[in-house]
Structures are given as structure tokens and as C-alpha cells.
Amino acid sequence: MIFVVCKQAQLALAQSCTSLSNYSVKWFCTKPGRAIQMNRGAKEAGGQYIWFLHLDSRFESGLVSSLLDNLKRYPERLHYCLLTFIADGPAAMPINALGANLRSRILAVPFGDQGFLISKSLFEQVGGYPEAVAYGEDHLFVWYARQQGIKLKCCSVPLSTSARKYEDKGWFKITCLYQRLWLKQAWPEFIRLVKQRYF
């Protein structure tokens, strides 16, 4: 079952742009806010595991097989994928993909466009996505999971996502903005993680 959650104003556009005819789909409308939308989808989901994807994510069947393989071996982890960008943005996007993959593998800080897969029970244990933040709810979710001792597992088959916003708003501007925002948000969470582990 696939749950697609969006704002009312986006519903018709999302339904027309999304090719999900081969799947059983439920559509929900919520108040604006990605955390609100993802938490609603998680609440409605009846399965044991939840895979959070952005609407513009693209993947091949090999990615699903690799994820399921990882899930069988590490059911208690938060799973994510390596990232690539669809060729709909600036030529410099491979630099962003490399940075995202190094950040997630070396620093254990993946972002939501890398497709989080987690058991529903662990998702609820973490407390879901924080709804009272201005940005970075996916980023904070990872920190909250790590602060509770949940380990991460990377799927080495890449998940593709759109780079349109970099084309529309400027590659350098958006890249610098995202780096500044995530580092600002990560620092206090890193300090909390260190205090929990060593003090």
C-alpha cells in the first residue's frame, strides 16, 4: 500500500504527475508541513515497516531488492540509500551527490531525500518527525534516532531525486544555504549525542 500525503492545493497536481497506476494508493490531505504529512502517512500505514520517499524519487527494482536484503539482516536499524540526482538540474549536481553520500556514510547524517526505511515500532519510539521546526525535520529525525541508540544502514544502490530547485534558485546559492542550515541544526544535536554516550 502506498500513502501519498500532501496539501489540498497540491492534490490534483500530485495525482496527475504521479504514475502509481500499478499500486494500491491512498491519498490524504493535511495542513502544510512535511513533518505533518509524513507523520500522517505513518499513522495510516498498517504494515510493519515504513519507507518514506519524496514524490520526485526514482528507483529501479535492484534498489528494492537491496533494501529488503538489508532489512532482513538489520531489522532494528534506520535504512537509507546512496543519492544521485536526475539530469534535470545544473551540471555540478554530482558534487552534491558526492557530498551527501560522504556526509551520510562518514558522519551518519543522511537526509530525507535518501529514502528512510524503518520499522513502524521504531518510528513511534523515536517520536516521529518533529512538527514544530521551521526546517530539517528529516535531519532531526536521524539525530533523535541515533540519540536513542538506533544504528543506520546504507543501501549501496542509489536512489535518484530531482535537482530542479537547484536549477530554479541557483546551484551555488542553494548549496551554500543547505550547508549552513544543516550544520547549524546539527551542532546542538551532536553535543546531546556526545553527552548521552560519554557523560
**116 has which bridge partners?**
52
Exposed e or buried b for every residue in 110-119, given b needs 16+ CB within 10 A?
A: bbbbbbbbbb
Which residue numbers in the chain have pLDDT < 50? 9, 13, 17-19
User: CA dist 118 to 129, 170, 186, Å?
Assistant: 13, 33, 21
Grid cell listed for 70? 538489508
User: CA dist 121 to 46, 52, 100, 118, 126, Å?
Assistant: 11, 15, 27, 8, 9
How confident is the model at residue 47, as a pLDDT? 87
pTM comes to 0.87
